[in-house]
Amino acid sequence: MHDFCAQDESNCLPNEQNSKGGETHAERIRKALETEIASGRIEPGKRLDEQEIALQFGVSRTPVREAFRMLAASSFVDLRGRQGAMVRSIAGHTLVEMFQVMAELEGLCARLAARRIKPEQMARIDAIHKRLEAACDPQGVDAFYDINQEFHEAVYEASCNAFLAAQTRGLRNQVAAYRRRVTRMPTRLDATLSEHSAVIEAIRAHDAERAHSAMRNHVNLLGDDLLDFLAAYG
Amino acid sequence: MHDFCAQDESNCLPNEQNSKGGETHAERIRKALETEIASGRIEPGKRLDEQEIALQFGVSRTPVREAFRMLAASSFVDLRGRQGAMVRSIAGHTLVEMFQVMAELEGLCARLAARRIKPEQMARIDAIHKRLEAACDPQGVDAFYDINQEFHEAVYEASCNAFLAAQTRGLRNQVAAYRRRVTRMPTRLDATLSEHSAVIEAIRAHDAERAHSAMRNHVNLLGDDLLDFLAAYG
DNA sequence: CAATGCTACGATGTATACAAATATTCGAAG
DNA sequence: CTTCGAATATTTGTATACATCGTAGCATTG
């Protein structure tokens, strides 16, 4: 059904692992499944069969089980006793809670970025924003989504707080499968652009408080749209 | 060397697992090791031997390895390639970063608590604070530490945001082994009491902003003391 | 016909066996 | 005596085998 060939380096936790070539199967499977789940290609609520996944990756159940345990600790899957693993499905009220936390964390990123950003980072953010404007096309929402991600990642980096960046990134990944649906809302694209502009100008002015509230506002508005979407389309 | 008999229900992640009696060995071992690590009874940097722990728990290596993977995903241990697991030791600059995030999260807890707290929760916090005052004795730092934990837990609960509570609790547990050392600083006990008072009064007055800054201040001061301690005693 | 209990199958949890890589030790050379 | 290196030993990673639990299907009974 799926082919888990896609591999990326999106380590969301400060789980650096050994950078040397020797990567374990368990780790490789964890990354692949995390990508599949965050992208929504494996839907929330779907049960993950150990044997089936072991076959798909061409390994035994052991490394698959270890990957499941890691994903469970990162809240990407739920382990229910002896009933197997299923992709975590997040209830609406929990999404509200998560966005409230994410708004605060992203806000902190922006606040720190406003105080600490270096010229080359500022230039990079400007460049990303230009690309995002160019990609503001309802046809290419996937490209828009990716560039948007780049923008936030650039702010994380400019915060000069690696732990905060990792924590925020992890949270972002957890809700990624739900976020992606909202990007398709037509009003979201334009709203995102203007909200980003507010954040960027505040950071450029080194106005920490304004950057904080602008980013918090941005995330909260996204959360509101997401809830509207869920309320309408379930 | 250690006897891992201590068992608790401190689930830091929204990892509810099956509440029915049938708990897997892997989960039991994860909880036990997490408690040992958070309490500092297993020191940061110590290598965890699979065989040794398997023997101590009377199981095979398999569930131990699964527990290691879960702890690694929660950042309690580091897995380095094929070189085994060791208790994560947190560098000073990372502790700074973590306290910055924790200050923000605990601050958010306090802010929400100020807006949402119910009378019985307020009464509970007052009662905990009274007990903390009574335990303000350099001899019984462990009791003080535990009651202090209760106070923060009560604020988490009053925030009415279960995800925020879990996230904050998890972060608190990660730095627990380091926090505990600071509690022994004589000035910390009195400082904690007065800082808590400020938080409590702000919450009682439903002054969200003041509660936020009071709690943030509290956590930041603790972080500063912790860094002073580390600078002095390594 | 619905509900309950039994049985068989399948999946998970755990133990053990094996392979590969790293750590260690012992020896030889400088 | 120190240092480098090869062989051994230990440990991790993975595969397989076994035990145990959950579920589904069917039969039986009220």
Over residues B6-15, the pLDDT tens digits come to: 333 333 333 3
Distance B33 CA to C7 C1' (A): 41
Q: How confident is the model at residue B30 (pLDDT cuts 50, 70, 90)?
A: very high
Q: How confident is the model at residue A233 (pLDDT cuts 50, 70, 90)?
A: confident
State how far the Cα of A171 lies from the Cα of B166, in Å rounded to an integer.
Answer: 13
Cβ–Cβ contact B39 with A under 8 A: no
- Average pLDDT over every residue of A135-154: 94
pLDDT at site B22: 73
Q: Please report, to the nearest 10 degrees, the dihedral formed by the alpha carbons of residues A43, A81, A29, A152 taken in order.
A: 50
Reported as a single tens digit per residue, the pLDDT across A79-128 is 998 999 999 999 999 999 999 999 999 999 999 999 999 999 999 999 99
B-chain residues near A213 (CB < 8 A): none
pLDDT at site A19: 40
- Give the strand order in the sheet containing A77-79: A47-48, A85-87, A77-79
Residue that wins the pLDDT comparison between A217 and B187? A217
pLDDT at site B21: 52
Reported as a single tens digit per residue, the pLDDT across B178-211 is 999 888 888 999 999 999 999 999 999 999 999 9
Residue B20 confidence (pLDDT) above 80: no
Flag if A97 and B162 touch (Cβ within 8 Å): yes
pLDDT at site A2: 45
State how far the Cα of B94 lies from the Cα of A173, in Å rounded to an integer.
Answer: 22
Flag if B79 and A17 touch (Cβ within 8 Å): yes
A22: burial class by Cβ within 10 Å (0-12, 13-18, 19+)? exposed
pLDDT at site B62: 98
pLDDT at site B12: 35
- Average pLDDT over every residue of A6-30: 58
Q: Which residue of B has its CA nearest to A31?
A: B73
Distance B57 CA to C24 C1' (A): 28
Residue A12 confidence (pLDDT) above 70: no
State how far the Cα of A105 lies from the Cα of A112, in Å rounded to an integer.
Answer: 11
Number of neighbouring beta carbons within 10 Å of residue B61: 14
pLDDT at site B220: 97
Nearest-CA distance A209 → chain B (Å):
14
Residue A224 confidence (pLDDT) above 80: yes
Residue with nearest Cα to nucleotide C20 C1': B82
- Average pLDDT over every residue of A198-218: 98
